[in-house]
Amino acid sequence: MWILTIALGAATAGIPAAELKSPGTPDVPRLEFALEELVTLAAPIPAGRTPYGERNIIPITGGTFQGPGITGTILPGGWDWQLRRADGCLDVKADYMLKTDDGVVINVVNRGAICGPKGGEMLPIRTAPVFEAPLGKYEWLAQSAFVGTLEVTTLDGKPAVRIRFYRVG
């Protein structure tokens, strides 16, 4: 039934149904570098134990970002809401704004889990960002799926994170 729905949608978009792949031949996703952020952080604010776990808030104080065709700054005022789970992992949800060099403001909500170390080695940190970009030059951010990598670092001796976003194609 879903093939019929896709075929009908494709027909209305001018794509011949014969060009659609059958369910047995899925496309293999590929990653394309989109942008890198260097996000500066303030000291954590412990919010205490909640019914869901131990809550921590980290203010986002600024930073920069750049990628092919996009550069700018990270606006201060965002937050990274962290929750320590029963299994010891840390759920993270950051909500903040980018401002491009040409004045466009883009909201980012980036979620992930930080777990480890396992066997003495820290597990890679992966995130799933969602961008809310206005229509126009950067609307592709809101029309695509992304995966992120996150590394804890410092900038001028202060806490920071380096996040690289990859568009899933």
Q: What is the CATH number of the domain that holds 120?
A: 2.40.160.20
- Per-residue model confidence (pLDDT) at position 145: 98
Q: How far apart are CA 9 and CA 101, in angstroms?
A: 37
- Per-residue model confidence (pLDDT) at position 18: 54
- Per-residue model confidence (pLDDT) at position 16: 57
pLDDT winner (highest mean) among 8-12, 76-80, 113-117: 76-80
The verdict on residue 15 lying in a domain is no
Residue 117 has pLDDT above 90, yes or no: no
Give how many domains the chain has, as a whole number: 1
Least confidently predicted of 20-29, 73-82, 119-128: 20-29
Residue 31 has pLDDT above 60, yes or no: yes
And the tokens for 107?
């909201």
Instruction: Residue 38: give the domain boundaries.
Output: 29-168
Residue 92 has pLDDT above 80, yes or no: yes
The verdict on residue 88 lying in a domain is yes
The verdict on residue 52 lying in a domain is yes
Is the CB of residue 85 less than 8 Å from the CB of residue 93?
Answer: no
The verdict on residue 77 lying in a domain is yes
Q: How far apart are CA 133 and CA 143, in angstroms?
A: 9
Q: Residue 165: CA atoms inside 13 Å, Cβ hemisphere, count? A: 23
